[in-house]
Each structure stands twice: as structure tokens, then as C-alpha cells.
Chain A
């Protein structure tokens, strides 16, 4: 069956450290993978998109990697801050690019 799994429901780290979140997928062949941030009581907000032919994408303190052999994406936040505390969702295109499927998310808490 098709699955998208994000590592642990919750991740706690100290301010200033690098947070690494994992997204693994099974029985999908995505051409695109996206990462979103969701704060409590609000809709998700887009962060980064990476294509299957890209190994890595960066935006300010954020970095995403995409390994189609391992069927895995890693999402890194460097020099993390308490304001980075949120739930992070990965999403990938499914069924010939017509719809997106989301993982359940990882709740990140950055402690001062």
C-alpha cells in the first residue's frame, strides 16, 4: 500500500541546534515533494518545493534533500529558534500530478 511516514510525531531540540525532519514514502513515484509549516489552529503554509532531479534546495535557514533511491526527503532547519516551533508536513504529488498526498506531520518544539 502507499504510505508517507514522517519521523516521530514530536521532536524537541535546543535553540541554536539543527533540526532534521524525515519524510519516507512507499509505493509512490513523485516528481515533486513539498514541505509546509502549520501552526495550531491555522492552515498549512508552503515552505519549499524540490523536484525529483534536484538533490538539494535551500532557502535561508531551511534545506531540503530528496533521495529517490532511498525514497526519502530530509528537511533541515539550521540555527533553530523558538519561533520555528510548529508542525511540519511533507507532501508529494500522486497520480500523475493531479493531487497531493500529505504526511501526518512532525511537531517540532525548539526550547530556549
Chain B
């Protein structure tokens, strides 16, 4: 039981490059989330998916897109990376949105030069 897995663990991009962060969970959870964590600002929700086939914006969605590929996988895409997107990105999953405990992946440390 791997829980929530994320790839890659580290990534360096140049401004304007694109990339996709991958996330998968093996707990049969309905809901999945993408957060970013910056020093002194805590975790901020980028996008979430309450169930397979649905996605919704969170607190800071600008510059990102997501795909809920199936119940297990939820990817985050940066179409044109900017230095302001330098952050640590966490994927999480839960049985239902809002009320249930969330299980987090190990994070992806992204640097945009």
C-alpha cells in the first residue's frame, strides 16, 4: 500500500517551459487535491477534484491546469512556468472533500529560473 505517490521529487525549469506533475493514490479515494507550500504561507489549494470526472478551482489556480485521469490519478500542469511558481507542491487524497482526513504525498520541489 503505497498511499499517495508523486513524481518527480525535484524539478528545475526555465521560465516559459511546461511540465506535468503526476500524482496517484491507491486508497480508492474519491477526492484529490493539489497544494503549493511556500515559506510563511502554509498550504494553499490550487485545484481539487471532488470525484472522478470533476475538477474545481481552489484558492490559487492561475497558471495551472489539472486533469483527473481516472479515480487513481490527478495531474497538475504548468503550461508556461514563471519564477513565482517556485514552490513545493503536494498532492493529497481523501474519501470525501472538506470533512475527511487528507493523505499527502511526499511533495515535488520545483524551481523555476
Contact = CB atoms under 8 A, between A and B. Distances in A.
Contacts of A104: 40-42
Interface residues of B, number: 27
Nearest to A95: B98
B113 interface: no
A26 to B, nearest CB: 15
A43 B45 contact: no
B43 A98 contact: no
Interface in A65-112: 89, 91, 93-94, 96-105
- Tell me which of A43, A49, A91, A105 has the highest count of chain B C-beta atoms within 10 A of its own C-beta: A43
Interface string B71-113: 0000000000000000000101000011111111111000000
Interface residues on A, range: 20 to 34
Interface of B: 4, 33, 35, 40-45, 48, 50, 56, 58-59, 90, 92, 97-107
B42 A100 contact: no
B99 A99 contact: no
Contacts of A102: 35, 42-44
